[in-house]
Chain A
Amino acid sequence: MSKNKSEYLINRQDNQYEVVIGLEVHAQVTSESKLFSTSATKFGAEPNTQVSLVDAAFPGMLPVINEYCVKQAIKTGIGLKAKINKRSVFDRKNYFYADLPQGYQISQFKDPIVGEGKVILDMPEGQKEVRIERLHLEQDAGKSIHDLDPKNTFVDLNRSGVALMEIVSKPDLRSPDEVNAYIKKLRSIMRYLGTCDGNMQEGSLRADVNVSVRKKGSKEFGTRCEIKNVNSIKFMQMAIEYEANRQVDLIEEGQTIDQETRLFDTKKNETRSMRSKEDAHDYRYFPDPDLLPLEVSDDFIENLKSEIPELPDEKKKRFIEKFKLSPYEANILVSDIETSNYFENVIKKSDVKLATNWIIGELFAALNEMNLEITESPISAGNLSKLINLIKDGTISGKIAKTVFEQMMEGDKDPQKIVEEKGLKQESDPKALEVLIDKVIDDNRDKANEYKSGKVKLFGFFVGQVMKVSGGKANPQLVNEILKKKL
């Protein structure tokens, strides 16, 4: 029932439409060198400084496969619970463009390195499985720069030949929210694996989005349009929303949808036709005769399996079972590997429940405010752990802890030292507290009498007064105990 509530439907007078989405994600392989050459792959280098003769397609130059990129692709396949193909083939995808020096892109067409797999999404209404059709390796193209000169186009080949993994999903996604969750989950898995940094600003992760619509309840797919090269989750969501509504409007007007490739204009928030199916390129795919079929052994795959770290789904399960976290808490803590590492470092020497609350609560809020990643946190896991222990052993109260935390955010200071220097240590000496409490009771005789005559609600007033007098340092638990006796 709750599932229906969050269903994403497009409503028109008499009809409800479901949106069907499939993604082709292009993920740049984390690798020092390119897929078929030894040039560097650093982002942001001066134009054309990371280009070899192979990347620039000089006569007689030949591609040689980078084994590391193959390993990265297989690891990703393992992370997607996918079938690893022991034999895969590199094909040439032929087309002319100024930033494609060979006149073809080396890709994998019929026989990709990774076959069918799956990704589990945690949606508010429960888990959803998205099926992966395939993952293949291919070269990136260079970059054409059209706005540096009124007449000429400039070409930067730094990106030419960089290894990409194209990860193709089945048309299993049904809403912009699911697309958001899917991309984030995919990115999370690849970051755990170290196979793609997932940096969308730098173009390390981008996607072609296939969108179609159909009347709710229909089993047949509608005609799809492919929105090319969208490079942020927000834009993907906006593009889907626009495109789905455009298609629904066409159907409502009794028109048909042309299968075509479209571009998303981020300024106007609309998709525009790029080319129709009739104008689609004939890429003349054929096996690249410069490269032998890629064959990997069982041992090779097994070795890589042994290098796979605990992935988000498994980690989440462990956090729930071992640390008794709620699924919500676990999801947040495993969403990226740095957060989960931080968490696990904190709880090495401190209470899990407190650590969870402090990380998800105070720490995330503070980082968010300062626009910092967890890796940039001013408070080290070790010091947060110390702070939590100070709370746990009663040295400071939770309230004081917040003051200490604020100071820690200004620089990675030892909470113990802050407490000592500022005299924030909790007062837990019963004799000292008795003196304080006696004074408070004395000063408020009338209220004490009212309490004794049955106005028990006034107990809170006395606690507050004691805390105030102590400057917040009195141990609340002891204050409670002593007050009860004295009153």
Chain B
Amino acid sequence: MSDITKQSLSELVENIKNKKLSSSEATKAFVERSEKSKELNAYITEDYTNALNKAKKFDEKPNLDLKLPGIPMAVKDLFCTKDIRTTAGSKILNNFVPTYESTVTQNIWNEGAILMGKLNCDEFAMGSSNETSFFGNVQNPIDKNLVPGGSSGGSSSAVAAQLTPITIGTDTGGSIRQPASFTGTVGLKPTYGSCSRYGIVAFASSLDQAGPMAQNVKDCALLQEVISSYDEKDSTSIDFKRNEYSKELTKDIKGKKIGIPREYRVDGMPKEIEDLWKKGIDYVKDCGAEIIDISLPHTKYALPTYYIVAPAEASSNLARYDGVKYGFRAEGENLIDMYEKTRSEGFGTEVQRRIMIGTYVLSSGYYDAYYLKAQKVRKLIKNDFDEAYKKVDAILTPSTPSSAFKIGEKANDPVSMYLNDIFTVPVNLAGLPGISIPAGHDSKGYPLGLQIIGKAFDEQSILNIAYAMEEKINFKNNITDWWIK
């Protein structure tokens, strides 16, 4: 079978189930393409030999009732994988091999999928361009020297370049949706509490959420139904009725009420983005949905709030990387000296910056003015959405304020980098589900995404809206395989 790697997940599953394709053939095809694509630097750790062996084993006794029968895939290197090095994109975990498996990846293997390797990401998922990774930049397959977004940059690059049919990322402030938008792929951040955080290297515990990334909405829905589960090992996991999202997927969104928040028309937003949003509104109208103008008045406080809450939690979550128990250790004169050297050498600049911000906002004398106030504003932001959802079923916004930028373009300007998350962070702060779908190209031919934000636990509605829009948009990613010699 030719062009195996061009097949979507749904096609691969169907072909394997119909025995037109073996797991070994599929795995071999994706491994070969991954090997030819080293220039993208999408992988941190490759596990191809094991993957091929597992595929062979699967084919000997194929269980075709599984949802991901013998499907090869690579995952973001923030998920702990048993016996496979897990780095979180950091030097400090460069040599760390977990003895345990994250719940989300375990759910995936339970449905028959096969691990090919671990994908590059910003260090501890802190970044919007994958440039903070200890393991180097990732190339966006759209164009040379273009960032793939971040922090799930290896994931978005690998899916867009078809090195893996699907993948999973994590999203704390936009880390799934923004890279999906930059690479012309689909990325879903589920409701907080939908996917277990057990075994995911923590960045900001109250915001982190794993989610699927794919080439189309249907694949995304299927992967979401695999990874979402109630997990007693995560106290913030929520026990709610989870759909079989792919089976209940429908393009019939007639009568759905879609909110357009006026506060998302930010100053200096490129006209291209404005136009894309308008086009998006036309698409949903075409599908029979109703457009309603809404207000989310506290939107402008979302970014500063996020950049207090997330670093505060991170500063505490990353305290465990101290050179004592596992991971990188620099020798020191005494305990304090060892801590300082280990953490100075083990963490990159952006991680250190956020640890310092987080430590500062939690310090006595500043706590009330920053952290406590941020928590109050967070509540107001959530209330904004609660109000809006009395009138609408979902909300449509751009995913990002621009298309992908060049590697190095914003590396020395953290604030401009942070502005990338302006449309995505409110969703994390409110704990809601959000999906980014490719919706067009800018003048340079780079993909642009639209975001659909849903009610808590209502992944089905935003998947349906995305599914209906996807057909109307009929987006084609323009990838030339420029990196393959």
Which residue numbers of A lie inside 8 Å of B, CB to CB? 53, 56-65, 92, 94, 96-98, 101-104, 153, 155, 282, 284-286, 289-292
A95: nearest chain-B partner, CB-CB = B319
Q: When the two chains form their complex, are residues A286 and B93 in contact, meaning their CB atoms are under 8 A apart? A: no
Q: Which of B62-70, B192-200, B286-294, B388-396 lies on the face that meets chain A?
A: B192-200
Chosen A-B contacts, 30 in total, with CB atoms closer than 8 Å, are A56-B325, A58-B98, A58-B100, A58-B325, A59-B80, A59-B88, A60-B102, A60-B197, A61-B198, A64-B234, A65-B235, A92-B316, A94-B316, A96-B339, A98-B322, A98-B324, A101-B320, A102-B319, A103-B319, A103-B320, A104-B316, A282-B364, A284-B315, A284-B359, A284-B363, A286-B312, A286-B316, A289-B205, A290-B205, A291-B236
Q: Which of A92, A155, A290 contacts B235 (CB 8 A)?
A: A290
User: Chain B 313-344, CB within 8 Å of chain A: the 1/0 string?
Assistant: 10110111010111000000001000100000
Chain A residues in 8 Å Cβ range of B113: none
Q: Which of B235, B236, B319 contacts A94 (CB 8 A)?
A: B319
Chain B residues in 8 Å Cβ range of A102: 319-320
| B219-255 contacts to A (CB < 8 Å) | 232-236
Chain A residues in 8 Å Cβ range of B93: 59
Q: Which of A53, A104, A289, A291 contacts B319 (CB 8 A)?
A: A104
Q: Which of A60, A155, A290 contacts B236 (CB 8 A)?
A: A290
Chain B residues in 8 Å Cβ range of A155: 324
Distance in angstroms between the alpha carbons of A286 and B324 in the assembled complex: 24
| B1-59 contacts to A (CB < 8 Å) | none
Q: When the two chains form their complex, are residues A60 and B320 in contact, meaning their CB atoms are under 8 A apart? A: no
Chain A residues in 8 Å Cβ range of B450: none
Q: When the two chains form their complex, are residues B319 and A96 in contact, meaning their CB atoms are under 8 A apart? A: yes
Q: How many residues of B contact A (CB 8 A)?
A: 42
Q: Contacts A59-B88, A286-B312, A290-B205 given; indicate if A64 touches B235 (C-beta within 8 A).
A: yes
Distance in angstroms between the alpha carbons of A402 and B320 in the assembled complex: 65
Q: When the two chains form their complex, are residues B324 and A62 in contact, meaning their CB atoms are under 8 A apart? A: no
B367 at the binding interface (Cβ < 8 Å): yes
Given contacts A101-B320, A104-B316, 6 further A-B contacts (CB under 8 A): A59-B80, A96-B319, A97-B335, A102-B320, A282-B364, A292-B236
Distance (whole angstroms) from the CB of B208 to the closest CB of chain A: 9
Q: When the two chains form their complex, are residues B98 and A59 in contact, meaning their CB atoms are under 8 A apart? A: yes
Distance (whole angstroms) from the CB of B107 to the closest CB of chain A: 15
Distance in angstroms between the alpha carbons of A292 and B206 in the assembled complex: 10
B402 at the binding interface (Cβ < 8 Å): no
B371 at the binding interface (Cβ < 8 Å): yes
Q: Which of A53, A60, A103, A153 contacts B335 (CB 8 A)?
A: A153
| B63-95 contacts to A (CB < 8 Å) | 80, 86, 88, 93
Distance (whole angstroms) from the CB of B134 to the closest CB of chain A: 15
Distance in angstroms between the alpha carbons of A64 and B200 in the assembled complex: 16
Q: When the two chains form their complex, are residues B96 and A59 in contact, meaning their CB atoms are under 8 A apart? A: yes
Chain A residues in 8 Å Cβ range of B213: none
Chain A residues in 8 Å Cβ range of B371: 286
Distance in angstroms between the alpha carbons of A62 and B93 in the assembled complex: 18
Q: Which of A62, A94, A97 contacts B198 (CB 8 A)?
A: A62
- Lowest 10 A-B CB distances belong to which pairs? A103-B319, A289-B205, A289-B206, A284-B362, A60-B199, A57-B320, A59-B201, A60-B80, A282-B364, A60-B200
Distance in angstroms between the alpha carbons of A284 and B356 in the assembled complex: 13
A54: nearest chain-B partner, CB-CB = B233
Distance in angstroms between the alpha carbons of A96 and B337 in the assembled complex: 12
Q: When the two chains form their complex, are residues B200 and A94 in contact, meaning their CB atoms are under 8 A apart? A: no
Distance in angstroms between the alpha carbons of A96 and B206 in the assembled complex: 22
Q: Contacts A94-B319, A103-B319 given; indicate if A286 touches B201 (C-beta within 8 A).
A: no
